[in-house]
Amino acid sequence: DIQMTQSPSSVSASIGDRVTITCRASQGISSWLAWYQQKPGKAPKLLIYAASSLQSGVPSRFSGSGSGTDFTLTISSLQPEDFATYYCQQANSFPPTFGGGTKVEIK
């Protein structure tokens, strides 16, 4: 199975900050990567797919980049509703696997 490693596991940030989360795959996955946002007690929400494509309805302050093994999710200006846990997921090969999550907390 492909292992997905996210860093950091948590980050404290203030409103308006730029936040960057990284995800590394144990082997190359081309651009077969998604990012999800999950708030407590809620289902995950797809933010980014194919490494850099913004899901419909997702604010443009979210962006994704990378290919191969190294990927990045960037929130350009953190908003109050962005405090949540973020997961990456590879869809290159079976089984689909998720990163361990990055919790974005209020500083």
Partner 1 sequence: EVQLVETGGGLIQPGGSLRLSCAASGFTVSSNYMSWVRQAPGKGLEWVSVIYSGGSTYYADSVKGRFTISRDNSKNTLYLQMNSLRAEDTAVYYCAREGDGGYASYWGQGTLVTVSS
Q: How far is the CB of 14 from partner 1 (least distance, A)?
A: 26
Q: Under the rule (CB under 8 A), what is the footprint of partner 1?
A: 32, 34, 36, 38, 42-46, 49-50, 55, 87, 89, 91, 94-101
Give the DSSP letter of residue 2: -
Give the up-direction half-sphere exposure of residue 83: CA atoms within 13 A in the CB hemisphere: 9
Which residues lie closer than 8 Å to 57 by C-beta, 6 or more apart?
Answer: none
Nearest residue (CB) to partner 1, 73 versus 97: 97
Of 57 and 80, the one with the shorter C-beta distance to partner 1 is 57
